[in-house]
């Protein structure tokens, strides 16, 4: 790897906004002040900048959401908006690049509600597998997926397993170093503590006030949709879309999103980013033997 790296530095000599500046000289240097958003968005970088970044940092953050109903007052994009916001805040605090959000997730059980767009598990598995393999091919060794939707968890883990196998089978140079981690922002311990403190049992399990609060913080226009709702059906088993709608007629599972406030959302964003930044730091530092 050393010889490849030195060939790269000989070829790429122009400092880039990502790599210039002492505060982000090394991956995981975690600047004292959050970086400007544009510096950590992969979409706004050029390929030479990414090549140069890879000489210093092998980490990348991938936001993963879902496009699905969130009760009668919550935005369809809740899980994608929240995952992307947390991922970008994490990128600003760590200096680690953030890919575009994968906004479609596994939401088959929400298909009884208009506006929901779902990838079947096998499709999502293939998408995530290809995302990981694309990044690994270029030398990314630590893929950190910030997820906003519980329904994605099983499939994401399966995609990681498949990606490890493919990386080895293709003989990718990074195969032995490749690590993928799934970080569900909404189950980070400090986030769950804050949700419990603010909402108690009314946090529920879907269209929760914590995630809705974060969307109100991100998109003030959504506050206008907030209104009191009747008691939601409690969480129960999840089968197909028709069964889900029969059990949960308005889409919520045990939650009271009317409790959500934009200022709570700002706290959830800070709380999630703080929790995940420590996890990301450990992940980047992890030796392949660990």
Say how far apart CA 220 and CA 234 lie, in whole Å.
28
**202: which 2 tokens?**
């009314």
| Residue 43 exposed, middle or buried by CB count within 10 Å (0-12, 13-18, 19+) | exposed
Say how far apart CA 103 and CA 22 lie, in whole Å.
34
What is the total residue count of the chain?
A: 290
140 CB neighbour count, 10 Å cutoff:
24
CB of 72 to Ni ion, least distance (A): 14
CB of 150 to Ni ion, least distance (A): 8
Say how far apart CA 286 and CA 160 lie, in whole Å.
17
CB of 208 to Ni ion, least distance (A): 7
Say how far apart CA 218 and CA 229 lie, in whole Å.
22
Is residue 99 within 8 A of residue 60, CB to CB? The reply is: yes
Which DSSP helix (H) or strand (E) runs through 237?
Answer: none
Task: State the Cα angle at 179 between 88 and 143, rounded to 5°.
Answer: 20
CB of 105 to Ni ion, least distance (A): 10
Nearer to Ni ion, 77 or 91 (CB): 77
* Three-state secondary-structure class, residue 32: coil
Residues near Ni ion (CB under 5 A) are: 78-79, 211
Say how far apart CA 67 and CA 65 lie, in whole Å.
7
- Angle, nearest 10°, between helix axes 78-94 and 262-285? 50
CB of 173 to Ni ion, least distance (A): 38
Nearer to Ni ion, 79 or 141 (CB): 79
CB of 123 to Ni ion, least distance (A): 19
CB of 66 to Ni ion, least distance (A): 7
């Amino acid at each position: 790897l050393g010889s490849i790296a030195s060939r790269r530095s000989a070829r790429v000599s122009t400092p880039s906004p990502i790599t210039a500046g002492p505060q982000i000289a090394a991956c995981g240097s975690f600047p004292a002040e959050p970086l400007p958003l544009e510096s950590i968005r992969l979409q706004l970088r050029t390929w030479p900048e990414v090549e140069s970044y890879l000489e210093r940092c092998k980490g990348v953050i991938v936001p993963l959401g879902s496009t699905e109903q969130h009760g009668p007052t919550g935005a369809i994009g809740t899980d994608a908006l929240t995952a992307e916001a947390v991922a970008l805040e994490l990128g600003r605090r760590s200096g680690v690049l953030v890919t575009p959000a994968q906004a479609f997730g596994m939401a088959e059980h929400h298909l009884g509600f208009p506006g929901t767009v779902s990838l079947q598990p096998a499709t999502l598995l293939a998408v995530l597998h290809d995302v990981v393999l694309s990044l690994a091919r270029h030398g990314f060794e630590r893929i950190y997926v910030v997820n906003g939707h519980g329904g994605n968890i099983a499939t994401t883990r399966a995609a990681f397993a498949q990606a490890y196998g493919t990386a080895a089978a293709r003989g990718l140079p990074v195969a032995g170093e490749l690590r993928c981690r799934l970080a569900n922002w909404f189950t980070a311990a400090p986030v769950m503590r804050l949700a419990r403190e603010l909402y108690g049992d009314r946090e529920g399990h879907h269209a929760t006030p914590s995630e809705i609060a974060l969307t109100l913080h991100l998109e003030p226009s959504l506050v206008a949709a907030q209104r009191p709702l009747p008691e939601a059906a409690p969480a129960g088993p999840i089968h197909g879309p028709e069964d889900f709608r029969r059990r949960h007629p308005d889409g919520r599972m045990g939650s009271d999103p009317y409790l959500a406030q934009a200022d709570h959302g700002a706290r959830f964003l800070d709380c999630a980013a703080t929790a995940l930044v420590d996890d990301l730091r450990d992940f980047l530092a992890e030796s392949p033997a660990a």
